[in-house]
């Protein structure tokens, strides 16, 4: 496969990660036909089909799996070389490439801002995705560090806890359960529940909480955005299982309240994660240490107390 280009490898890796030419095109700011052409050219160099269609779905062939492993290794080494070149000089320059789950996007910019006050010359690139997508970015060497709420069970990752992460049940102030004390979780399970999609840390925490209680929640809506869940809860469409860190503004404005549910808040931890087999750039090493040392203080204490009737 002598004639394969880096562009073809990058396009193929994105298509393989998404198993969708359309989603790969959106990520790479290309058209779907342009992605298809690059993949076909790479298949021509390989002398084998790299994808096959099963119904309407795309999946990798055995040859595709092998090419993907090599492509990711090549792209990872190139990215490491680019970062090393960028780093030459001092820690005051360079690119910090980090990712955070959706539940952390309310506080994470404040951590980055505090770090940049110490290193004002750096550039920062932040990706906000769900947990599974963040781990995929780490695997593909597309980001240096990820901040997530559920540490990966798979081998090959280094995860360090740096702050507590409470999850709560939020509802509109006029909800019939607002203000009640010690609501049984079984009562919440019978309510229409607004929740994140499969693959998110928030959804994983919710599924674990109900499973541990032997309950099956009545899921009314799966919504891949915390903001939409909050608006839906405020509109009275159900109760939302959410990170307390995502509710600061709504609690202050009074558009949402936290229900007093037995066993809540559900406590998890915030983790900063990176691949064990990859040498972190110096700027990423410095940021990881900064988050571990200062993250809990910068996140601050969230108001997670439920509203109670007087």
**pLDDT, tens digit (0-9, with 9 covering 90-100), for 194-220:** 999 998 889 999 999 999 999 999 999
Confidence of residue 304 (pLDDT cuts 50, 70, 90): very low
143-157, 167-181, 234-248: range with lowest mean pLDDT: 143-157
Predicted pLDDT at 14? 93
pLDDT class of 85 with cuts at 50, 70, 90: low
- Compute φ and ψ for 276, nearest 5 degrees: -70, -30
pLDDT over 90, % of the chain: 69
**Tell me: the pLDDT tens digits for 133-167?**
999 999 888 899 999 988 888 888 999 999 999 99
Q: What is the pLDDT of residue 144?
A: 94
Angle at 186 between CA 183 and CA 192, to 5 degrees: 95
pLDDT score for 108: 93
Over 80: is that where the pLDDT of 272 sits? yes
265 preceded by a cis bond (ω within 30 of 0)? yes
pLDDT band at 84 (very low <50, low <70, confident <90, very high): low
Per-residue model confidence (pLDDT) at position 95:
87
Q: Is the pLDDT at 88 greater than 60, yes or no? A: no
Dist CA 42 CA 39 (whole Å): 5
- pLDDT reported for residue 309: 43
Q: Tell whether the model's pLDDT for residue 308 goes beyond 50.
A: no
**Nearest CA among 175, 137, 187 for reference residue 157:** 137
Q: Evaluate if residue 303 carries a pLDDT over 60.
A: no
* Burial state string for 126-159 with b = 16 or more CB within 10 A and e = fewer than 16: eeebbbbbbbbbbbbbbbbbbbbbbbbeeeebbe
Among 36-40, 137-141, 206-210, 226-230, the range scoring the smallest mean pLDDT is 137-141
Q: For 28-79, what is the HEC assignment?
A: HCCCHHHHHHHHHHHHHHHCCCCEEEECCEEEECHHHHHHHHHHHHHHHHHH
- What pLDDT sits at residue 139? 87
Angle between helices 62-87 and 32-46 (to 10 degrees): 110
Residue 169 in contact with residue 240, Cβ under 8 Å?
A: yes
90-100 pLDDT, tens digit each:
566 678 999 99
User: What pLDDT, on the 0 to 100 scale, is given for residue 154?
Assistant: 83
Confidence of residue 279 (pLDDT cuts 50, 70, 90): confident
246 and 205 Cβ atoms separated by less than 8 Å: no
Domains annotated on the chain, with CATH? 6-81 (1.10.10.10), 85-163+269-299 (3.40.190.10), 165-268 (3.40.190.10)
Torsion angle, alpha carbons of 267, 236, 106, 275, to 10: 50
- Please tell me the predicted confidence (pLDDT) of residue 105: 86
Write down the mean pLDDT value for the chain. Answer: 90
Both tokens assigned to 113: 């801002």
Helix/strand/coil for 126: strand
**Is 60 exceeded by the pLDDT of residue 306?**
no
What pLDDT was estimated at residue 106?
Answer: 87
């Amino acid at each position: 496969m002598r004639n394969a280009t880096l562009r073809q490898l990058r396009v193929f890796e994105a298509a393989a990660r998404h198993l969708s030419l359309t989603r790969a095109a959106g990520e790479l700011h290309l058209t779907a036909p342009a992605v298809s052409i690059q993949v076909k050219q790479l298949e021509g160099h390989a002398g084998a089909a790299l994808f096959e269609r099963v119904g309407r779905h795309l999946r990798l062939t055995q040859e595709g799996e092998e090419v993907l492993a090599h492509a990711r290794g090549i792209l990872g080494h190139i990215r490491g070389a680019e970062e090393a070149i960028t780093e030459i000089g001092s820690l005051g320059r360079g690119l910090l490439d980090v990712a955070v789950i959706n539940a952390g996007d309310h506080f994470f910019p404040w951590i980055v801002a505090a770090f940049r006050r110490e290193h004002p010359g750096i550039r920062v690139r932040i990706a906000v995705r769900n947990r599974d997508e963040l781990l995929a970015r780490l695997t593909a060497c597309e980001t240096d560090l990820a901040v997530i709420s559920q540490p990966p069970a798979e081998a090959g990752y280094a995860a360090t806890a740096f702050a507590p992460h409470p999850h709560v049940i939020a509802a509109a102030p006029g909800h019939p359960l607002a203000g009640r004390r010690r609501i049984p979780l079984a009562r919440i399970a019978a309510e229409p529940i607004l929740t994140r999609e499969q693959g998110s840390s928030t959804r994983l925490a919710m599924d674990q909480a109900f499973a541990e209680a032997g309950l099956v929640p009545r899921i009314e809506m799966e919504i891949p955005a915390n903001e939409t869940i909050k608006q839906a809860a405020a509109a009275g469409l159900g109760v939302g299982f959410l990170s307390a860190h995502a509710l600061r503004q709504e609690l202050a404005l009074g558009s949402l309240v936290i229900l007093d549910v037995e066993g809540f808040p559900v406590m998890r931890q915030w983790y900063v994660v990176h691949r064990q087999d990859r040498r972190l750039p110096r700027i990423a090493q410095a940021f990881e240490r900064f988050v571990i040392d200062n993250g809990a203080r910068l996140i601050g204490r969230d108001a997670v107390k439920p509203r109670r009737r007087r």
